[in-house]
Amino acid sequence: MPFIIFAPKFGDFVSETRVRFAPSPTGYLHVGGLRTALYNFLFARKNNGKFILRIEDTDRNRYVEGAVENLIESLKWCGLDYDEGPDKAGEFGPYMQSQRLDIYKKYADDLIAKEHAYFCFCTPERLQTLKEEQAAQKLPQAKYDKHCLSLSKNEIEDKLANGIPHVVRLNVILNQKIIFDDIIRKRVEFESNNVDDQVLIKSDGYPTYHMANVVDDHMMQISHVIRGEEWLSSTPKHVLLYDFFGWEKPIFAHLPLLLNPDRSKLSKRQGDVAVEDYRAKGFLKEALVNFVALLGWNAGNDKEFYYMNELIESFSLERVNNSGAVFDFEKLNWINAEHLRKKSNEELLTLLKFEIENSELRIENYSDSYLLQIIDAMKERVNFVKEYLTKSPYFFEAPTEYEEASRLKNWKPETPEQLVVLKNKFTQLNNPSKEDYETVLKQAASELNISAGKLIHPLRLALSGISTGPGMYDLLFILGKGEVINRINTALNTLR
RNA sequence: GGCGCGUUCGUCUAGUGGUCCAGGACGCCGCCCUCUCAAGGCGGAGAUCACGGGUUCGACCCCCGUACGCGCUACCA
């Protein structure tokens, strides 16, 4: 009598929302991982639940020094604070799987006792041969042949006693349907005949993901498993495990993948994938979070600009899409610029000072009030904080060379004498305001019988060395009379 | 190959049987504003809703099939 294995439905009562982000520490936080972590975080916060960080470090071959610290650093930078984790004790720790080996061992023994799992002593060579044979026979699918399931108790004890390397395998029962409901995929159905006798405990004594994940999610009382779509295919193994243990299953939600422009799974080959890369490039955490949140989710309206608290407010798993999303850098740039423009000048000041400290400039050369003026003047013109330095370097250092195109276009033979007229007028000003500069410049233009533009363009070139920037009177005022006159003189000497 | 998931403008998406010969956003193009560059405003190009069958008075929306894409198929997660 085949039994049908069922995961709980969406509406089933769950006492407390507890979700986890469970990355393996491979070196850095991938933006796909960020999205998974974010959705978990948003879901937890929205439902007044707990967000847990668990490190899945059960593959000793993949251990990377400092990876966990790096992961945590990135997570925290993004504002994803977890309630329990490796460095934040909770009542369900430890939160590093490598520190829970005895637990997995105990539950594996449990399963073996109930004959839902068994020792397997097959060598890698036999497994390899088996696979090749099955391929040669054109079997629809390669699976372990349950060879070691038929070992007698004595044989097993004998091999164990002799220290023969072994693993523990899941004993999948044939001819059953494994059905579960996924919030995003709806009902998903598998045949148990297509499920392999997965290794649960490796020969080095470490559990595989499948084993550790189920045991931990149960012990940590995880209510919802929100993870990437790449796990959907192995979910039947997990469902089987919950059932064999007699445990209540969590509610599953498998997230669509993040893709490269060519629609393959987002990878390092085609650009930056690590959160730290984006951070280094100068993206605001608010922008990265906002952008990534929208990759696969929307509230059902046209809103695209979100702060974290707004995301928490409107997030729901039901509104997560089911198809992969291409990571579009152009749109990330745009959302970054949006967030930057919405920041107060004071916030930008902090960011800009940080940027200056990390540049070759000396922070003590610039007062807060001076920087604030630059921020105000350039705010609409920068997409990154560092662009205050790269797009308007002339606020920090006088130009030493002049843009050729602008020189050809705006620096005419008559320009020098006209600028001298203007300069003389500037010289006579006493503590000039923006309006004073404007009045005087227009006066000069009028006296010279030329348009203001004829003065403005070469003046801009003289003051900034380039042809783009804030309004001329802002530029004059920020630089100040003395600097303005110096720069005009320098230009007059350089560009004849 | 097997199993699973998916498929609306280039990209992110809205859309839950009639209001859609499909709306918004990014990007692109044009105009306005203007001392430059931006920002902003206005407008434009851009999707036979993957394809083919059904169901229905009526399908982007429901069903079936096909194609294509992606994922999994490890003693990796």
- pLDDT tens-digit profile of A121-143? 999 999 999 988 888 888 888 89
| pLDDT higher than threshold 90 for residue A7 | no
Q: What residues of A are annotated to the active site?
A: 268
- pLDDT bracket for residue A4 (50, 70, 90): very low
| pLDDT higher than threshold 60 for residue A9 | no
Cβ atoms of A402 and A494 closer than 8 Å: yes
Q: Which of residues 385-444 of A touch strand B (CB under 7 A)?
A: none
- pLDDT bracket for residue A3 (50, 70, 90): very low
Residue A59, CB, strand B, below 7 Å: yes
| pLDDT higher than threshold 90 for residue A216 | yes
**Which nucleotide is the nearest neighbour of A261, by CA and C1'?**
B11
Residue A231, CB, strand B, below 7 Å: yes
| pLDDT higher than threshold 50 for residue A70 | yes
> Per-residue pLDDT averaged across A203-221, rounded?
97
A110/A116 Cα distance (integer angstroms): 9
Residues A139-171: tens digit of each pLDDT = 888 899 999 999 999 999 999 999 999 999 999
Residue A197, CB, strand B, below 7 Å: no
- pLDDT bracket for residue A206 (50, 70, 90): very high
Residue A142, CB, strand B, below 7 Å: yes
Average pLDDT value over all residues in chain A: 93
Which range among A58-67, A298-307, A391-400, A421-430 shows the weakest confidence by mean pLDDT? A58-67
| pLDDT higher than threshold 60 for residue A276 | yes
- pLDDT bracket for residue A61 (50, 70, 90): confident
- pLDDT bracket for residue A312 (50, 70, 90): very high
A319/A291 Cα distance (integer angstroms): 16
* Amino acid letter for position A384: F
3-state SS of chain A? CCCCEECCCCCCCCCCCEEEECCCCCCCCEHHHHHHHHHHHHHHHHCCCEEEECECCCCHHHCCCCHHHHHHHHHHHCCCCCCEECCECCCCCCCEHHHCHHHHHHHHHHHHHCCCEEEECCCHHHHHHHHHHHHHCCCCCCCCCCHHHHCCHHHHHHHHHCCCCCEEEECCCCCCEEEEEECCCEEEEEEHHHCCCCEEECCCCCECHHHHHHHHHHHCCCCEEEEEHHHHHHHHHHHHHHHHHCCCCCEEEEECCEECCCCCECCHHHCCCEHHHHHHHCCCHHHHHHHHHCCCECCCCCCCCCCHHHHHHHCCHHHECCCCEECCHHHHHHHHHHHHHHCCHHHHHHHHHHHHHCCCCCHHHCCHHHHHHHHHHHHHHCCCCCHHHHCCHHHCCCCCCCCHHHHHHHCCCCHHHHHHHHHHHHHHCCCCCHHHHHHHHHHHHHHHCCCHHHHHHHHHHHHHCCCCCCCHHHHHHHHCHHHHHHHHHHHHHHCC
Residue A452, CB, strand B, below 7 Å: yes
Length A4 CA → B77 C1' (Å): 28
pLDDT of residue A168: 97
Residue A478, CB, strand B, below 7 Å: no
What percent of chain A has pLDDT above 90?
Answer: 86
pTM more than 0.80: yes
| pLDDT higher than threshold 50 for residue A6 | no
Chain B nucleotides near the protein (CB, 7 A): 1-8, 10-15, 23-27, 35-39, 69-77
- pLDDT bracket for residue A2 (50, 70, 90): very low
Question: Do you know the residue count of chain A?
Answer: 496
Length A320 CA → B57 C1' (Å): 35
Q: Which of residues 146-165 of A touch strand B (CB under 7 A)?
A: 165
- pLDDT bracket for residue A263 (50, 70, 90): confident
> Per-residue pLDDT averaged across A347-353, rounded?
97
Which range among A89-93, A252-256, A458-462 shows the weakest confidence by mean pLDDT? A89-93
